[in-house]
Amino acid sequence: MADNLVDKLKELGLNSYEAKVYLALLRQNPATGYEISKESGVPQARAYDTLKALEANNIVVAMGGKPVTYTPISPHELLDRWERSFRGSVNYLREALPSLANETVEPIVNLRGKEALFKHALDMINNAQHSLFVQIWREDAQYLASAFQEAKKRGVIIRMVGYDDCNIEGVDIFQHERADAIQQAYGLRWFILSADDKEGLVGTISNAEDRQPQAIITKNPGIVLLIKEFIVHDIFILDIEKNLPEEMNRIYGSNRTEVRQKIEGSESKISFRLAK
């Protein structure tokens, strides 16, 4: 226990000798420098230097007399003082530091491998406070389903586009019905996640076994906005398809090939149909 106390006091700013001397004084006070050295295990010459340093920081008090004896301030007083000091420093830095970071650009970080991708996604979901916007395939949703359910229980808004009949109990999902065509055309599926309008993830998972899943993550505000808006746009179209299927078929055709080619050109690989 004593070693743990020394370590914790060092974390709060004391050095090893100072921590040992203070703890020794709590056990035995008032005490002379010689007695403190014996109790603490600090060499006598260093014990006197350490006492002077603690006295200068108002952590111990010299009582006078010959020889001089010392007594410590109470743990409550010391901890209350440190707590006020640290709180004040943290509050000051909370105000001051952001102004220095206004010109910084949030980086884009690359992830490789399924474990890294889904571990970071879990962190994003578990830390979400108000909203999650998602596009995910059924095959990948199994790794994150319980985290999404817990997020919903916390009151987090979840808007999800699901592929290949993706289903997570308790979570409303807008079903995208072109999963097979997408995987056949591109040889991959994607996973897209936006959390609290603060962080975004875009990942691809190849059908080829020799190609690792990869993703980018970022807190860059502009890119996070685009990631979220991409998902919102798909949900918007899916909802129109669901509620106005006859009108969409009449205007754009049943498989949306023409409008897809109008947007992408004749090289378009898949039809644009979003609902049967």
What confidence tens digit (pLDDT) does each residue in 36-93 have? 898 889 998 899 899 999 999 899 998 877 888 999 999 999 999 999 998 999 998 8
What confidence tens digit (pLDDT) does each residue in 53-67 have? 999 989 999 887 788
**Rounded Cα–Cα distance for residues 20 and 26 (Å):** 10
- From the number of C-beta atoms within 10 Å of its C-beta (0-12, 13-18, 19+), residue 260 rates as middle
**Rounded Cα–Cα distance for residues 40 and 20 (Å):** 6
Q: Please state the pTM of the whole predicted model.
A: 0.61
The one-letter code for the residue type at 75 is P
- SS3 category, 173: strand
What confidence tens digit (pLDDT) does each residue in 170-198 have? 999 999 988 888 888 888 999 999 999 99
Q: Do 51 and 67 form a contact (C-beta atoms < 8 A)?
A: no
